[in-house]
Structure 1
Amino acid sequence: MKHRWSSSSSNRDPEMSDSGTYQRQLQQLFHLHDSGLDQAFIDALPVFLYKEIVGLKEPFDCAVCLCEFSEQDELRLLPLCSHAFHISCIDTWLLS
């Protein structure tokens, strides 16, 4: 079946007429994905124990679950911003 293009749509790329195709091309162009980060990338982020943080005067909490960290909590660090989160909280968020 051939598509007929009116003069108003003659400048449009037929490939772009399908919004799904357009979305996929944008995702490829900007390296976007429907899902979150790969687990291998997440696993490469630094992990440390909360008690290893020296000089804390006030307790701080996980910005995902809003619970205060305890001494034995393992945290994952996001290196560029230096924010720390419970591993399970941030991993779930980064995977989504």
Structure 2
Amino acid sequence: MATSQVPPSVTWHFTELDDRLFQIRGRTFFFVAVLFAIILLVTFIFLYARWVCRFHQLTTFPAAVPGGRPPRSPPQQGLNPTAINCLPISLYKAPPAEEDPRATVAAAGECSICLGVFEDGEKVKILPLCRHCYHSECVDRWLRSQSSCPLCRVSLCIDTSNNLQMV
């Protein structure tokens, strides 16, 4: 006869389990509550920041909204080539030795962009009103990226009649 083997019965001893190990005491509950509050606070801050960014994006780029306006192009930094070419070019002539070198700014004798000394007969551009002079190539390169005098920062602008003026 085949004997069936019955596994030994598992007997639970309920007295061996100690419920005190599973109790949540005061300090543990406090730390769990603080951790939950921090997670909740960080979640709300994240959602608020996301809402603010989305709101800012919709006001800055209304083209993202159907029927909105297209975004504006950024303002031009430098002057256009025709305005740069309208600046007067003259040949540099060193002032006589007896003349006061502070009499005119154009008599400085040095380009403040490249710090090169002006030679007699060299082409220089003199900006209107402020009378600062520079090598033609130096000031052209400057004015392509900036719309102000490199030395005194007086803004150059174009009026309605396409004349270059200092503001």
1:4-83 mapped onto 2 (5 Å cutoff): 9=52, 14-16=58-60, 25=72, 27=74, 32-33=75-76, 35-51=77-93, 55=99, 57=101, 60-83=109-132
Using the TM superposition, give the Cα deviation of residue 46 of structure 1 relative to its aligned residue in structure 2, in angstroms: 1.0
CA 47–73 in structure 1, closer or farther in 2 if over 3 Å, else same: same
Using the TM superposition, give the Cα deviation of residue 25 of structure 1 relative to its aligned residue in structure 2, in angstroms: 4.0
Contact 1:62–1:68 (CA under 8 A) maintained in structure 2: yes
Whether 2:141 is the aligned partner of 1:92: answer yes
CA 12–70 in structure 1, closer or farther in 2 if over 3 Å, else same: closer
Structure 1 length normalisation: TM-score?
A: 0.63
CA RMSD in angstroms, aligned pairs only: 3.2
Contact 1:59–1:68 (CA under 8 A) maintained in structure 2: no
What's the secondary structure of 1:48's corresponding residue? strand
Using the TM superposition, give the Cα deviation of residue 15 of structure 1 relative to its aligned residue in structure 2, in angstroms: 3.4
Q: Percent identity?
A: 29
Contact 1:64–1:85 (CA under 8 A) maintained in structure 2: yes
Output the CA distance in 2 between the equivalents of 1:73 and 1:17: 49
In structure 2, list runs of 5 or more residues that go unmatched.
1-47, 63-70, 102-106, 146-167
* Count of residue pairs the alignment pairs up: 80
- Which letter does structure 2 place at the counterpart of 1:14? L
In structure 1, list runs of 5 or more residues that go unmatched.
1-5, 19-23
